[in-house]
Amino acid sequence: MSLRGGLCVALSALGLVACAPEVVRRPTQLTSVAEQAKDTIEIGETVPVSVGPGYRRVIRRGSLWTRIGRSVEGEVFKPVDGVFTVEGAQIHEAYLVLAGDRLVGFYLPVERAFAPVGDGKEIRLSIRRRPP
Amino acid sequence: MTIRTMLVTAALLLPLSGCATGAKYTEVASTLPPLASSQGRIYFYRPSAFGAAVQPAINLNGQKVGTAKPHGFYFVDRAPGNYEVTAATETEKKLTFTLEPSQERFVRLRIQMGVMVGRIVPELVDKADAERELGKLSFIPDPLK
């Protein structure tokens, strides 16, 4: 382990996470859907997800998400009456990006970027679709 | 342990020094000015007194809007758009989020302790969770004073 790596581990163990790397992301373009086409999904089972280097979040059972658009990576769903963030060196508001019922990553609305799921493994979600 | 370390540690452990006092959220919530339909409202609050000596400035898009006062909360109204919250501490963790017209956003200011000093981590919180924590906090009507 390098000196820098060792220092990061030591500081992390002490509660300092200043060494946490940025959330991996790349620019993407969101194409919005018409208001009347914004269908909603409900999550059927709580799912823990890796959202950044060393950080986890939970997508809660019963939470509602509205489809607001599409990017090249998938359909983009924004939380209804809730918030969702991903975290690395910084914390970013994030929406879900789904390909069918698979969670492939997150859309960061401020950065206009796509961040793949933390460990690179897509996650199948239990979802119920509600029409617009 | 150096004298500096001991002083910093002692300061961080003073639990109630410099906490916000005054009317609680539950007392003032109904009297807060209504939000203009063209604006959004961002609440900032710090529920814990741990590390009370660490009270950095809180910046919204680089502009100071208040400090991280323990047991206190305040809000600002802003135009819709993209926002970035940072705390002026030795190491910085920023939060980015969007603000829509008539939307309320809640930013919890959480202390994270390090070896020598603490830092404030701003977290975006949903309204239900925020209102549970806000109930016992004191309103800071002029956070820039």
ipTM rounded to 2 decimals? 0.84
Mutate to test the interface with B, among A25, A65, A81, A83 (most CBs of B within 10 A): A83
> A 69-108 residues with CB below 8 A of B?
79, 81-83, 85, 89-93, 108
Burial of A86-106, coded b for 16+ CB within 10 Å and e otherwise, reads: bbbbbbbbbbbbbeeeebbbb
Q: What is the pLDDT of residue A36?
A: 78
Is the Cβ pair A91, B112 closer than 8 Å? no
- Interchain pair B124, A83: CB under 8 A: yes
Q: Give the pLDDT of residue B51.
A: 81
Q: Which chain A residues touch B126 with a CB distance below 8 Å?
A: 79, 81-83
Q: What pLDDT score does A44 carry?
A: 96
Distance from A7 to chain B by nearest Cα, in Å? 13
Instruction: Please judge whether A81 and B126 are an interchain contact, meaning their C-beta atoms are less than 8 angstroms apart.
Output: yes
Tell me if residue A4 falls in helix, strand or coil: helix
Least Cα distance to A116 among A101, A94, A132 occurs for A94
pLDDT of residue B5: 56
Q: With a cut of 50, list the residues of chain A below it in pLDDT.
A: 1, 4-17
Cβ of B114 within 8 Å of Cβ of A14? The answer is: yes
Q: Which residues of chain B are under the pLDDT cut of 70? A: 1-17, 115
Distance CA B25, CA B55 (A): 20
Q: A19, exposed or middle or buried, with CB in 10 Å at 0-12, 13-18, 19+? A: middle
Predicted pLDDT at B49: 84
Specify the pTM.
Answer: 0.85
pLDDT at res. B47? 94
Looking at residue A8, what is its pLDDT?
46
